[in-house]
Amino acid sequence: MKAYQHMKKEELLVLKKELEAKLENIKSQGMQLDMSRGKPGEDQLALSMEMLDVVNSSSDMNNEAGIDTRNYGQVDGLPEAKRLLAQMADTSPEKAIVFGNASLNVMFDTISRSMTHGVMGSTPWSKLDNPVKFLCPVPGYDRHFSITEYFGIEMIPVEMTKDGPDMDTVEKLVREDEAVKGIWCVPKYSNPQGYTYSPETVRRFANLEPKAKDFRIFWDNAYAVHHLYPEPKRQDQLPDILALCEETGKPDMVYEFVSTSKVTFPGSGISMMAASEGNRKEILRHLSVQTIGHDKINQLRHARFLKDMDGVREQMNKQGELTLIKFKIVWEVLERELSGLEIGSWEYPRGGYFISFEALEGCAKAIVAKAKESGLTLTPAGASFPYGKDPKDSNIRIAPTYPSLDELKLAGEAFVLCVKLVSIDKILKSK
């Protein structure tokens, strides 16, 4: 296919008419689709229905250590839940604290606690003269950025590469600026690009020399086991940063987060923070004021359903199979309709929940707006950047899992039409 930029104005105008008619046709079908969030599809939810049976009225409600899971107590979680979640994050259970249904909430609380009480004896962040800063690899996860924005933390974007964040910049900023207290990371199958940090990047993380003693890496291993392919050699690997930080003598520098949100049921899962002994002690001291404990029956339910890493792998192979079908539908339409046009590029991640799309500069907002008009809701353009501001206005996050296959096919067609139309408008302006 011919690149749009090499087409004559007249050709583009004719093409535009054609495409507009096609989009009108889709609109007239009354499409109402939401691809804005990484929500599992119904087929994926069905994979966990049996979990609802493993704890029932005739179950032994004592856990493996004889704890009655129905009563109060055990604020750091059941041993079997620690083991399961630690395995998912490829780290050790003694570092784990099991929390409630959402790791996002744990991250929020961690920052909230740092604001009001500091970190291991440091000045509470809210009492510092200058606002705290966080490094934000971009594009990244919008809900991370919402948390730091909420607490008035200044966000500094750092460019993502296929190997992870630009580590030269990270190292420099962390080393030179005491106000830099944290960095948001989705180290495996990153949101939205699906990049996995290289072993070298992870090693450099473990070797950071922060000026601030209370600097922490927020290692959100959200897609730890969320592979698209069952073959181990087609799955990304990520070193255990907690172990590496121990080796470099900086065991306290990182908090790792993991959850079952997209393993079983989103919203009804269990979550974990893994951290050094020092961090764990500190956090448990605070946690014991905040709550008497998390939902242990749900911990038991997860542990009995998923059992161990083999169980997790089996479940995630099924999840991956269903996800891959949807990713392939999106890839197919992108390739068929956009290859060679030079108006956009996209990623081929091996896991995670998103296909990141790079439109021509200055086109993302207009594409999302045009899609919305046609009945297709996408993640707002810019959402993957701090303060919602994509400097190039080019990144769009595609979340293919929630729609049904037929809906997704239609949504894909609508999406590429919007990309084409907005791109033509941009190119026409420059002609």
| Beta carbons within 8 Å of 205's beta carbon, 6+ residues apart | 167, 170, 185, 197, 217, 241, 244, 254
Q: Measure the CA angle with vertex 226, ends 220 and 228; round to 5°.
A: 145
Angle at 190 between CA 136 and CA 278, to 5 degrees: 65
Amino acid type, 297: I
Whichever of 63 and 374 has its CB closer to its own copies, that residue is 63
* CB nearer to its own copies: pick between 103 and 196: 103
Please say which residue, 113 or 370, places its beta carbon nearer to its own copies: 113
Output the smallest distance, CB 41 to its own copies, in A: 9
C-beta of residue 298 within 8 angstroms of C-beta of residue 307: no
CB 408 within 8 A of CB 40: no
Residue 121: count other Cβ atoms within 10 Å of its Cβ: 9
Q: Give least dist CB 52 to its own copies, A.
A: 5
Q: What's the closest the beta carbon of residue 76 comes to its own copies, in angstroms?
A: 13
Contact 226, 319 (CB under 8 A): yes
Tokens 């439109």 locate to: 359
Of the pair 204, 301, the CB lying nearest its own copies is at 301
13 vs 405, which CB is nearer to its own copies? 405
Considering the complex, what minimum distance in angstroms separates the CB of residue 118 from its own copies? 12
CB of 266 to its own copies, least distance (A): 5
| CB 143 to its own copies: min, Å | 8
Radius of gyration over alpha carbons of the chain, in Å? 23
- Is the peptide bond prior to 400 cis by the omega test (within 30 degrees of 0)? no
**Whose Cβ is closer to its own copies: residue 205's or residue 385's?**
385
**Shortest distance in whole angstroms from residue 393 CB to its own copies:** 24
249 Ramachandran zone, left/alpha/beta (phi>0; psi -120 to 50): left
Residues found near its own copies in the complex (CB under 8 A): 37, 39-40, 42, 45, 48-50, 52-53, 55-57, 59, 61, 68-73, 100-102, 104-105, 108-109, 112, 115-116, 124, 126-127, 143, 146-147, 150-151, 265-268, 286, 289-298
Nearer to its own copies, 244 or 303 (CB): 303
